[in-house]
Amino acid sequence: MTGEPQQPLSTDEMRIAGTARTPVAGGSAPPAVQTEQTPGSARWRVGRAYRAGRLVCGCIHVTTTIDERLGLTQRERRLVQVRFHEPVEDDLRTDLTALARRRGAASERAADRIDPIEVVVDDQYGERERMIGGLRPPQRRHGPLRELAFALHELQ
């Protein structure tokens, strides 16, 4: 070090370094990506939905969170929510609409009548995660189907 103050990087130099906001220090590695899920954190992934081996929705967003309450088994701690995007099969759309529009005990009875659904999620490493479960009523009941988050109660 010569004791002279360093000149700040120009906008072009920052862009070349990789970001327009902060310069990258020479030889520093990018931050590590956290793959493990901690309690209270949520992550979402993209997947597909099947019924009886038939594709019923080609694009769903799956959000998984971990419940921090004591006394729950590992399976009970994992909370899964799904949002259905287009295209959705007509029979599934009818079931989801009925589930979303009913309230109270009627919504629980409607959820019990709906056939189980299989959710297949591909992760970034080429692994597949398969979940089979029943849908539960959403907390928010009005709006477009892609904005309603249905809880998935895992059977396996």
Domain locations in the chain?
Answer: 37-154
Q: Percent of the chain scored above 90 by pLDDT?
A: 26
* Residue 122: per-residue pLDDT: 82
- Helices 104-113 & 90-101, crossing angle to 10 degrees? 160
Q: What is the pLDDT of residues 145-155, one digit of tens each?
A: 888 999 998 88
Contact, 85 vs 60, CB < 8 A? yes
Contact, 57 vs 87, CB < 8 A? yes
* pTM for the model: 0.65
Q: Which two tokens stand for residue 55?
A: 């594709």
For residues 74-102, average pLDDT: 86
Strands 128-136 and 78-88: unpaired
